[in-house]
A and B are shown apart, each in its own frame.
Chain A
Amino acid sequence: MPVNMIVCCKQVPDPEAPPSVFKVADNKMTLPPDVKPVIGQYEEFALEAALKIKDTGGGKITALSLGNNFVRDVIKKAVAVGSDELILLEDEAFEGGDSWSTANALATAIKKIGEYDVIFCGRQSSDWDAGQVGLGIAEILGIPAVTLARKVEVVDGKARVERVIPDGYQVVEVALPALIIVTSGIGALRYATLKGIMAAAKKQPVIWKPADIGLEPSQIGAAGRYSKLDKLFQPVKEAKCEIIEGETPAEAGANLAVKLREAKLL
């Protein structure tokens, strides 16, 4: 059975840029221009989950993203790896949202898309780490949601999900349509194929402005926030590492043992 899927992808600054380049100025995160935007890590896992389903049963994948100033080559990666459609909620007014206004806008766009069996989200965005938007979309749409999926199969109108729990996993079954939130065990996102890269180059993303999904500027982005960001700051951290030396790495290892004993750490 072909499965109709939507994957919510967020464009974020590379979360694995070295900690030293993250600088807060004026209550905003500023990053040097050489830190490139990427699709968030858990959204890449979500894409992979959708692609695995498409591999087995066929189907259609629509990548959906909300933001502003999308870097086309970055967000089009969703198409290059195998998504069929790309819809961008792109407008200045979408900027600065919180979990509430973001989930609301994405859910409203999904209603406009209309048909879907599975919506995939990542467990948390790779910049604000909130872990809320997926469940928010499910609540707004009134559909069931399963979190922390590391394996997803669709059979007979149901999804069967391996859901990570602290000391193992559960196998959870849910009727579709449903929202599934993906974690990392699903497997790394596949590389784009040449065919995919060409398809992405040709693809014109569909752009929706707030009015296209029937939302007022007061309901979205910074204006639609429920929670106020009072302050963004960086606690000072003094680096104080003592490097234990030795003639060889092995000797350094032995010297570490001596040091640990001397310091009565062990």
Chain B
Amino acid sequence: MAEYKGILVCGELMDGKLASITTELLGCGRKLADDLKEDLCCLLAGDSVGEASKEAIAFGADKIYIVEHPILKEYQADSYIQVAEKLARDISPRIILMGQTSMGRDFAPRLSFRLGTSLTTDCLDLSVNPETKLLVQTRPVYGGNAQAIFTSDVMPQMATVRTKAMSPLERDDSRKGEVIATKIDIDTSKVRTKILETVKEEAVGIKLDDAPVIVSGGRGMGGPEPFQTTLKELADLLHGAVGASRPPADNGWVPEALHIGLTGKIVAPDIYIAIAISGASQHTAGCTGSKHIIAINKDPEANIFRDAELGVVGKYEDVVPALTNKLKELLAA
């Protein structure tokens, strides 16, 4: 039996740079690797990896495996899995980490089943049990109404990590690491899906991920219009972005990209204003990392008041315009 050693982070690239989740994974992986006294490795696959390998070293990796192939330009499970499966079998890591991102959700379960091992998705915390050396994996369950701790003695141990749950290390360009260009043959006949078209739907303006303030609307907004007027006006005033709970996205009132929560975006702005959102755990799972949560809801019993620090009970049609006007006045003064 192979000896399983080290940690492998499956990295993600965004516009030729390390995606922020990958820096977070390296931060968490570095700590685990130090505890185990083993190497932290990072796989970077793409059509051209460029400077990202230097970045990965600066953010904590010891060894970078680079796999470049034209077919890896766009993520497709059937091509990427050939790369990750081969590398995982060659280097036998003890732990494989990925992000709970669009790609990680699509990819990590496939890889775990292919490697015949278990996976814990959406982890908030990872540590090494000093006695057993097993990875202790904590994740929310029941829509965030509880948390569960899992371990597995089937190797490699796999986990995906929620975005923004871990902190990256301070970038340190003096760190040393080894870059290993790895050739892996990709059998294109095994790619069984074909991307016919990619359509961008993102709303214009500040992105949810970067917004210091998010003004988020729920089913109680009643339709698409107030997202473009009442909510947008407040968001614009605060240099923030408009977001939504799932129903407005499901109903086509807002683009899917604005959907916040367990199955949408995880956001952590300074201020999150939840308007006509009941506060289902699956929604608040996506915003409890915010510094301050403010709720406006006509129902004083709404669950959102359990997560909020400030609240107003009332119909948004009455409350929000008054809030916006008064803020305008105060901010101008």
Residues of A within 8 A of B (CB): 15-16, 18-19, 22, 24, 29, 98-100, 103, 123-124, 126-132, 134-136, 138-140, 144-148, 150, 160, 164-175, 178, 183-185, 187-188, 225-235, 237, 239-244, 246, 248-254, 256-261, 265-266
Contact = CB atoms under 8 A, between A and B. Distances in A.
A129 to B, nearest CB: 6
Given A136-B109, A140-B113, A241 B295 contact: yes
A178 B114 CA distance: 17
Nearest to A238: B306
B122 interface: yes
Contacts of B289: none
Interface centre among B109, B140, B147 (most CB of A within 10 A): B109
A244 B192 CA distance: 56
Nearest to B138: A231
B309 A147 contact: no
A23 to B, nearest CB: 9
A263 B262 CA distance: 30
Closest 9 CB pairs of A and B: A249-B314, A253-B322, A257-B326, A226-B118, A144-B192, A139-B113, A22-B145, A253-B319, A168-B201
Interface stretch (B1-9, B41-49, B89-97, B249-257): B249-257
Nearest to A249: B314
Q: How large is the interface on B (under 10, 10 to 19, 20 to 34, 35 or more residues)?
A: 35 or more
A226 B195 contact: no
B110 A135 contact: yes
Contacts of A244: 310-312
B198 interface: yes
A246 B154 CA distance: 59
A257 B319 CA distance: 10
A167 B140 CA distance: 25
Nearest to A42: B263
Nearest to A262: B330
Interface of B: 77-78, 101-102, 105-106, 109-110, 112-114, 117-122, 136, 140-143, 145-152, 154, 192-202, 213, 238, 246, 249-250, 255-257, 262-263, 265, 270-271, 280-282, 292, 294-296, 300, 303, 305-315, 318-323, 325-327, 329-331
Given A132-B121, A243-B312, 5 more contacts: A124-B263, A129-B121, A174-B194, A243-B313, A254-B325
B305 A232 contact: no
Contacts of B246: 184
A227 B120 contact: yes
Contacts of B114: 139
Given A254-B323, A256-B323, A257-B327, A242 B147 contact: no
A37 to B, nearest CB: 14
Nearest to B118: A226
A211 B110 CA distance: 27
Contacts of B201: 167-169
Contacts of B281: 19
A188 B308 contact: no
Given A144-B192, A256-B312, A188 B250 contact: yes
Nearest to A107: B113
A70 B101 CA distance: 33
Contacts of A160: 196
27 contacts: A19-B145, A29-B141, A100-B118, A128-B142, A129-B142, A131-B121, A132-B121, A135-B113, A144-B192, A145-B77, A168-B202, A168-B257, A169-B201, A171-B199, A226-B117, A228-B151, A230-B149, A231-B149, A233-B146, A233-B147, A239-B305, A243-B311, A251-B322, A254-B322, A256-B323, A257-B330, A261-B330
